[in-house]
Amino acid sequence: MNTRERFLAVLDFDKSVHSLKWDFGIWGEAVDNWYKQGLPKNHYPKISKELTTPTGSLYGRAWRSVGEDRLAGGLGVMVGGLYWPTQAFPLGIDVRDHFHMDQNQQLCDVNLLFCPMFDVQDLHEDDETLDYIDVDGVQRHFLKAEGTIPTSMKWPITDKKSWEKLKDERLNLKNISSRFPSNWEAKVKEYRNRDYPLAVGGYPMGFFGTLSHLIGYENLFYWYHDEPALVHDMLNTFTEIWIAVYSEVLTKVDIDHYHIWEDISYGTGSMISLDTVREYMLPYIKRVVDFLKPRGVRHILLDTDGDCNSLIPLFMEAGVTGMYPFETHCGMDIVKVRQQYPKLQILGGISKGEIAKGRDRIDQLLVPIEQVLKTGGCIPFSDHFIPPDVSFEAYSYYRNKLNAMIDKYGD
């Protein structure tokens, strides 16, 4: 079976098929460390300089500012679990090939945010920092030594007036055709002959995620109370645009799954009340899901970090079929999740930080993974990017043991 066929079979709980060999991703600093520790270097991860879409090109200016001879510490290197392209993250071909992992899932690279995109503008740069305006209109501050996701300083949406201006200029249904890249016909040809899973959606597209990304978390929390009509208008506008774009995509190519990015939960639960989730998220998720499912997109995957236990039943009610990455240090126990929700697709669930503790701890980490693998509908991988304190030796033991475990359950 190719990667696409296996992915669809696993999400359909076909226990005759073994799961996929993916990880969520790996920090750039970790990959650079591994090259020094024994990983063969044949295809060093390269960050594209091309501006394609807000999803594919976001943060690219920051990642490139550290130079071409090393990777930014917190840059994500893609090895399957997280879709590509996203956030200018490069593919980890050497890691994939060395550990006999499956192809990366891909995201249909279309513009789901502002159209036209904002021009990237440098405001200040020195040896240590970069201040700039990104393709999504957010002003960001990047620390080169730290090298993690740039900090948002100013947002393009500050009030109703700024929203109305953006809606008129960059968020309307008049320019749907301009939301597709110049190489769209070539991409369609590739997509039609693919052997990897293909998704729509992705970062930063969500029904909490997009608003928090463009307004700021604290501002959004206030707006739920102070500006409910404005929040609903924003959600309705994005929902209409997304459905219009997906409609055009589906006239050209079939899609395997829909990714919703939220990051709505943190260490002890949801950032907003469940009533707020029900009022401001569920109706819009349902609208998109109800559009996609009759058109063959059966798998709806939602990305949120932290403790999402209380959110799972609500998202399933809205049509979500699977979630990831199930961060274990925040209390996410995939064995309990499987017991509570037998048909929820589970992706992730392996504590990224604990891998550094060596073989005995890795053996412990994989016990619950094996329990859930037996039940089907599970793609096990790290519960976020593998950090740089995980050595190549430790990762090799973990990855090889996980691969062997996956091979035990299905052909």
State the Cα angle at 59 between 58 and 61, rounded to 5°: 115
Q: In this structure, are strands 269-270 and 265-266 parallel, antiparallel, or unpaired?
A: antiparallel
Helices (H), 227-281: 228-252, 274-280
The two structure tokens encoding residue 273: 């009340």
What is the DSSP secondary-structure string of 315-371?
Answer: HHHTT--EEEE--GGGT--HHHHHHH-TT-EEEEEE-TGGGGG-HHHHHHHHHHHHH
pLDDT of the residue at 145: 96
Residue pair 258/200 in contact by the 8 Å Cβ criterion: yes
Contacts of 355 (CB under 8 A, 6+ apart): 361, 362, 365, 382, 386, 390, 394, 395, 398
Please give the DSSP secondary-structure letter assigned to residue 80: B
Inter-residue contact 72 to 20 (CB < 8 Å)? no
**How buried is residue 104: exposed, middle or buried, by Cβ count under 10 Å (0-12/13-18/19+)?**
buried
**C-alpha span between 239 and 11 (Å, rounded):** 26
pLDDT of 250 reads 98
User: Coil, strand or helix: which one is 153?
Assistant: strand
Output the six-digit token pair for 287: 């609208």
Q: Note if the pTM is more than 0.85.
A: yes
Contact 302, 288 (CB under 8 A): no
Please give the chain's pLDDT, 411 residues, in tens.
Answer: 999 999 999 999 999 999 999 999 999 999 999 999 999 999 999 999 999 999 999 999 999 999 989 999 999 999 999 999 999 999 999 999 999 999 999 999 999 999 999 999 999 999 999 999 999 999 999 999 999 999 999 999 999 999 999 999 999 898 899 999 999 999 999 999 999 999 999 999 999 999 999 999 999 999 999 999 999 999 999 999 999 999 999 999 999 999 999 999 999 999 999 999 999 999 999 999 999 999 999 999 999 999 999 999 999 999 999 999 999 999 999 999 999 999 999 999 999 999 999 999 999 999 999 999 999 999 999 999 999 999 999 999 999 999 999 999 999
Spatial CA neighbour of 305 closest among 291, 289, 325 = 325
Match 């039940």 to its residue by tokens: 375
Inter-residue contact 42 to 397 (CB < 8 Å): no
C-alpha distance from residue 247 to each of 140, 202, 292, 410 (Å): 33, 16, 9, 36
Region class of 197: left (phi > 0), else alpha (psi between -120 and 50), else beta: beta
Would you list the domain boundaries of the chain? 3-408
d(CA 355, CA 329): 13
Would you say the C-alpha torsion 396, 402, 408, 410 has a positive or negative sign? negative
Closest CA to 90 of 107, 102, 76: 76
Which amino acid would we find at residue 19? S
What would the CATH number be for the domain defined by 3-408? 3.20.20.210
- Residue 174: per-residue pLDDT: 87
Q: Which two tokens stand for residue 12?
A: 């359909």
Residue 193 is predicted with a pLDDT of 97
